[in-house]
Structure 1
Amino acid sequence: MKEKLKAYRFPLILLSSIIIGSIIGLVFGEDATVIKPLGDLFINLLFMIVIPLVFFTISSAIASMDSMKRLGKIMSSMMGVFIVTGIIAAVFMLVATVIFEPGQGVDIPLETPENTEDLTLSEQLVNTFTVSDFVDLFSRQNMLALIIFSVLVGISTALTGEKSKGFSKFLTSGSEVFMKLVQLVMYYAPIGLGAYFASLIGEFGADLIGDYAKAVIVYYPVAVLYFAIGFTLYAFIAGGKLGVIRFWKNILSPAATSLGTGSSIASLPVNLQAAKRIGVPKDVRETILPLGATIHMDGSCLSAMLKIAFVFGVFNMDFSGWDTFLTAIGICLLSGIVMSGIPGGGFMGEMMIISLYGLPMEALPIISAIGVVVDPPATMVNVTGDTVSSMLVTRQIEGKDWIKQAEV
Structure 2
Amino acid sequence: MQSILKNYSSIILLLIGISFGSLIGLFLPTVVPYIKPLGDIFLNLLFVAVIPLLFFAISSAVANIEGNNRLGRILTSMSFVFIITITIAAILTILGLWAFPVTAISDGQGADENILNAANDGWGEKIVRFVTVGEFVNLLSRQNILAFVIFSFLVGISVRKSGEAAQPFLRFLIAGNEVMKNMLDIVMKLGPIGLGAYFAHQVHELGPELFGFYAKPLGFYYIFGTVFFFTVFSVYAFIARGRKGIPLFWKNNITPSLTALSTCSSLATLPSNLLAAKRIGVPNSVANVVIPLGNTLYKNGSAISSILKIYVAFSILEWDFFEPSTLLMAVGITLLVSMVAGGIPNGGFIGEMLMISVYNIPNEAIPAIMIIGALVDPLATILNATGDTVAAMLVTRFSGEKFTKGEEEKVDSSIV
State the TM-score, normalized to the length of structure 1.
Answer: 0.61
Which residue identity is paired with 2:362?
P
Is the CA contact (8 Å cut-off) linking 1:297 and 1:340 kept in structure 2?
yes
Distance 1:214 1:85 in 2: 26
| Structure 1 residues 39 and 216: CA distance shift in structure 2, 3 A | same
Per the alignment, residue 85 of structure 1 pairs with 85
Per the alignment, residue 100 of structure 1 pairs with 100
Which residue identity is paired with 1:232?
S
Give the drift of 1:307: 0.3
Per the alignment, residue 389 of structure 1 pairs with 391
Per the alignment, residue 172 of structure 2 pairs with 132
Give the drift of 1:348: 2.8
Distance 2:78 2:371 in 1: 31
Give the drift of 1:78: 0.3
| Structure 1 residues 362 and 222: CA distance shift in structure 2, 3 A | same
Distance 2:322 2:171 in 1: 42
Give the drift of 1:137: 7.5
| Structure 1 residues 137 and 347: CA distance shift in structure 2, 3 A | closer
**Which of residues 223, 226, 229 is equivalent to 1:227?**
229
* % identity of equivalent residues: 41
| Structure 1 residues 225 and 287: CA distance shift in structure 2, 3 A | same
Which residue identity is paired with 2:94?
L
Task: Give the 3-state SS of the residue equivalent to 2:363 in structure 1.
Answer: coil
CA RMSD after TM alignment: 3.5
Aligned residues: 281
**Which of residues 212, 220, 242 is equivalent to 1:240?**
242
Distance 1:367 1:131 in 2: 36
Which residue identity is paired with 1:350?
E
Give the drift of 1:325: 1.3
Is the CA contact (8 Å cut-off) linking 1:90 and 1:329 kept in structure 2?
yes
Distance 2:180 2:260 in 1: 16
Task: Give the 3-state SS of the residue equivalent to 2:278 in structure 1.
Answer: helix
Which residue identity is paired with 1:240?
G
Give the drift of 1:211: 3.0
Distance 2:286 2:108 in 1: 48
- 1:260-275 aligned within 5 A: 260-275=262-277
Give the drift of 1:318: 1.8
Task: Give the 3-state SS of the residue equivalent to 2:172 in structure 1.
Answer: coil
Establish whether residue 71 from structure 1 lines up as the match of residue 74 from structure 2: no
Give the drift of 1:341: 3.9
Distance 1:83 1:305 in 2: 15
Give the drift of 1:224: 0.9
Per the alignment, residue 251 of structure 1 pairs with 253
Give the drift of 1:313: 1.2
* 1:98-129, Cα deviation, whole Å (9 max, x unpaired): 12222x2436799xxxxxx9556558828995
Structure 1: which 5+ runs fail to align?
1-20, 22-34, 44-61, 111-116, 143-207
Distance 2:344 2:155 in 1: 5
Task: Give the 3-state SS of the residue equivalent to 1:317 in structure 2.
Answer: coil
Which residue identity is paired with 2:172?
S
| Structure 1 residues 294 and 84: CA distance shift in structure 2, 3 A | same
Distance 2:303 2:173 in 1: 33
Distance 2:89 2:335 in 1: 9
Distance 2:105 2:389 in 1: 37
Per the alignment, residue 349 of structure 1 pairs with 351
Which residue identity is paired with 2:261?
L
Give the drift of 1:133: 7.2
Structure 2: which 5+ runs fail to align?
11-64, 110-139, 157-169, 183-209, 409-416
Per the alignment, residue 43 of structure 2 pairs with none
| Structure 1 residues 229 and 126: CA distance shift in structure 2, 3 A | closer
Give the drift of 1:263: 1.6
Per the alignment, residue 338 of structure 1 pairs with 340
Establish whether residue 276 from structure 1 lines up as the match of residue 278 from structure 2: yes
Task: Give the 3-state SS of the residue equivalent to 1:251 in structure 2.
Answer: helix
Which residue identity is paired with 2:72?
G
Establish whether residue 359 from structure 1 lines up as the match of residue 399 from structure 2: no
Per the alignment, residue 375 of structure 1 pairs with 377
Which residue identity is paired with 1:86?
I
| Structure 1 residues 79 and 37: CA distance shift in structure 2, 3 A | closer
State the TM-score, normalized to the length of structure 2.
Answer: 0.60
Which residue identity is paired with 1:268?
L
Which residue identity is paired with 1:216?
L
| Structure 1 residues 73 and 105: CA distance shift in structure 2, 3 A | closer
